[in-house]
Amino acid sequence: MVANFSREEREGIVVIGGANIDIKGKSKNVIQWDTSNPGTIRVSHGGVGRNIAHYLGLLNIPVKYLSAVGDDSEGREILEKLRNARVQAEEVVLSKKEPTGKYVAILDEKGDLQVGVSDTEIMKRVTPRYLIAKAGVIKKNRFMIIDTNLTPQAIYHIADLCYREKIPLIADPVSAVKSRKLLGILSRISYLTPDISELSALSGVIIKSAADRQKAIEALMKKGVKNIILTHSTRGVYIHSEQVPEGEFINIKRKKMVDCTGAGDALVAGMAYGLYKNYSLYHSVQIGMVIASLAVTSPDTVYAQLDEAMVKKQMVRTFRIL
């Protein structure tokens, strides 16, 4: 029998989600489809869950990462880099049957994603049986973060465990297609971080106006989602929650973008950091936006130079707070 922990006894954040090798091609000029484009190609470590865990480690949050990678040089390199960032990754599955996941992204000359292809078949190794074995580890944490690279069965199991243990669940939908895995657990989600396409997929509302956006948000709130943090391209982030019942945009001056991939992961990590430190949701999202604004200036998926001092300095500079 696994012991129950009070909130005061819980210390840390557990992240469960994908770990990939990211292969990103950025065109030098406007993309010409159906032909070869001159540009640059970079290889780095990625995966939504992995990126979030990496950021939390850099921010000195006690973070436990659960996932699956191949028992290959790429998988071992991913785990070593996470350990160097103070992420507890010793419970990650090393699979001899599947290789480490891959993600291929094509970016335009501005750094905006045009198309991506992900191979996350290995994530089927994160089974309910594996999660049952890790229940003691999970229950010791104050927050849970998941991405939808997980199987529906794993997502359902995690959501039920969080509900029973009263652990707030933060869910990153990842993509419009993968977001639909969350449809059966919406009432279990404490914080949902979709973009417009994911919001549309989850609500069933075609979003072409502010009224459509509000209709979609209200549909999800009626299904039990507690807080919606909507990334809205150039308009910033839109929060709708019990703390911000009327809904409100937060925006900051955009830095020169090199690569947009990983910005959403940075936002989630910064928000989780703020919530863990007992800041308000509004303030926590501001922290996330500051980290995301740094992330887009790097050609790598994670802004590896990040630390707490940098975040605080940027918060003072951007919002005159913290």
| Average pLDDT over the chain, rounded to an integer | 91
Distance, in Å, from the CA atom of 176 to the CA atom of 174, rounded to the nearest integer, reads 7
Task: Report which of 222, 180, 185, 226 is spatially closest to residue 199, judged by C-alpha positions.
Answer: 180
- pLDDT at residue 1, rounded to an integer: 38
DSSP for 166-218?
Answer: T--EEEE--SHHHHGGGGGGGGG-SEE--BHHHHHHHH-----SHHHHHHHHH
| Higher pLDDT pick, 254 / 152 | 152
Do 76 and 49 touch, CB atoms closer than 8 A? no
- pLDDT at residue 5, rounded to an integer: 54
Distance, in Å, from the CA atom of 115 to the CA atom of 80, rounded to the nearest integer, reads 29
Q: What is the mean pLDDT of residues 194-198?
A: 96
Instruction: Give the DSSP H/E element, type plus range, for residue 238.
Output: strand 237-240
The amino acid at residue 210 is: A
Helix axes 263-276, 281-295, angle to 10 degrees: 140
Do 67 and 92 touch, CB atoms closer than 8 A? yes
H helices of the chain, in order, are 48-58, 73-84, 128-133, 135-139, 152-165, 176-179, 196-203, 210-222, 263-276, 281-295, 308-319
The CATH class, in words, for 11-18+49-70+86-92+121-319 is: alpha beta
Helix axes 308-319, 281-295, angle to 10 degrees: 110
With 80 as the cut, is the pLDDT of residue 253 above it? no
**301 pLDDT tier (thresholds 50, 70, 90):** confident
Distance, in Å, from the CA atom of 227 to the CA atom of 221, rounded to the nearest integer, reads 8
With 80 as the cut, is the pLDDT of residue 88 above it? yes
- Name the DSSP letter for residue 302: S
Which residues fall within 8 angstroms of residue 27, CB to CB, at 6 or more apart? 37, 38, 39, 106, 107, 108, 109
Task: Report which of 293, 303, 312, 276 is spatially closest to residue 15, judged by C-alpha positions.
Answer: 276
Which tokens sit at 210?
């502010």
Do 74 and 100 touch, CB atoms closer than 8 A? yes
Helix axes 48-58, 263-276, angle to 10 degrees: 50
Q: What is the mean pLDDT of residues 218-241?
A: 91
- pLDDT at residue 2, rounded to an integer: 44
With 70 as the cut, is the pLDDT of residue 123 above it? yes
Q: What is the pLDDT of residues 138-188, one digit of tens each?
A: 999 999 999 999 999 999 999 999 999 999 999 999 999 999 999 999 999
Q: CB 67: neighbour CB atoms within 10 A?
A: 30
